Amino acid sequence: MAGQQFGGWTVTSGSVDLTTDWVDAEGRQSLDLNGSGDGAVARSLPAQLLTTYKVTFAVAGNPEGSPTVKSGKATVNGQEVDTFTFSIAGKNNFSMGWVYRSFYFTNLLSASSVLQFAGTSGSAWGAVIDDVKVESCLLILCPASAATVNRIS
């Protein structure tokens, strides 16, 4: 429920399910972004001015209900920086089919940034995330895949 906190994250809307019901990408639990419906979690990240950050996370889908294609999005300071979908066709609790995604953003003006993940599947069985990592890199030293960087004010 909104306001609930765990591991540095806060539920900011709707509800989410922190669960051990299936094989995780890493560790012993993962997060279904849809509890009883679309939910969202956020955390504040200390950020340096004019620094680029790489966010990497694993995504799968709750295989226990419809829709077949789960969806979600990531925002930084309210600006959408990534949308993702995941099909659960052929997946189950023991073979989730985790896929790693990443995106970059550059912090321009703030001493902190708020990273949020939200479910957009519209049901009680949503996109599932795990193993979220945030790393900083100098733009000139970031990998070539950082060519499209989200500039966050």
- Taking the C-alpha atoms of residue 151 and residue 153, their distance in angstroms, rounded to an integer, is 7
Q: Where are the domains of the chain?
A: 5-152
First CA to last CA distance, the chain: 29
Question: Is residue 21 exposed (0-12), middle (13-18) or buried (19+ Cβ within 10 Å)?
Answer: middle
For the stretch 98-108, pLDDT in tens is: 999 999 888 88
What does pLDDT average to over the chain?
90
Q: How confident is the model at residue 112 (pLDDT cuts 50, 70, 90)?
A: confident
* Three-class DSSP category at 145: helix
Q: Which CATH class is domain 5-152?
A: mainly beta
For the stretch 4-40, pLDDT in tens is: 999 999 999 999 999 999 999 998 999 999 999 999 9
Q: Cα 89 to the chain's mean position, in Å?
A: 21
For the stretch 60-98, pLDDT in tens is: 999 999 999 999 999 999 999 999 999 999 999 999 999
Cβ–Cβ contacts within 10 Å for residue 40, how many?
23
Cβ–Cβ contacts within 10 Å for residue 42, how many?
18
Cβ–Cβ contacts within 10 Å for residue 116, how many?
20
